[in-house]
Amino acid sequence: MSIQNDIRTSQNDLRTISTLVGDALSQFAKLFQNEVDLAKAEFGEKVQKVGGALGFIAGGAVLVIPALVMALFALSAALIAAGWSQPIAYLTSAILAMVIAGVLFAIGINRLDARNLAPQETIRQLEKDKDTVKGMVR
């Protein structure tokens, strides 16, 4: 009778272990799916930021051209009226335009920095999940 009791107990323990392993795998699958959903959401947010940054770059490039042309002609005319030679006045205006364009491009490129686009929340959550899974395995 003792051997039969031990066999029944062993079978119950095996069922319990298999149930626990199945539950752990099921939870891991749910956790993985949640992480995929989080990554999708965060990626969508980052794509939106890139689109906004590109919009600023394009808007700045389109709107600054006519304004700069008029401002540069006015600056050149003022410099010529002040006694500067025409080539020096136009060159000074062109250099000013390049500086302004450089600032606009630098702002746009800064907004496209890879560190700002990395899915930080997803990475942080994956680190937590890794620690959780390690704890479950032990």
Residue-wise pLDDT for 118-127, tens only, equals 677 777 777 7
Residue 90 placed within a domain: yes
Residue 71 placed within a domain: yes
Task: Give the pLDDT score at 17.
Answer: 67
Residue 14 placed within a domain: yes
Query: Cα dist. 22→26, 47, 68, 137 in Å?
Result: 6, 37, 68, 13
Residue 79 placed within a domain: yes
Q: Which domain holds residue 88?
A: 6-137
Task: Give the pLDDT score at 69.
Answer: 87
Dist CA 108 CA 82 (whole Å): 36
Q: How far is CA 133 from the centre of its chain?
A: 26
Residue 1 placed within a domain: no
Residue numbers of the chain with a pLDDT score lower than 70 = 1-15, 17-18, 20-21, 114-118, 133, 136-138
Task: Give the pLDDT score at 123.
Answer: 74
Task: Give the pLDDT score at 47.
Answer: 82
Q: What is the pLDDT of residues 43-52, one digit of tens each?
A: 788 888 888 8
Task: Give the pLDDT score at 83.
Answer: 94
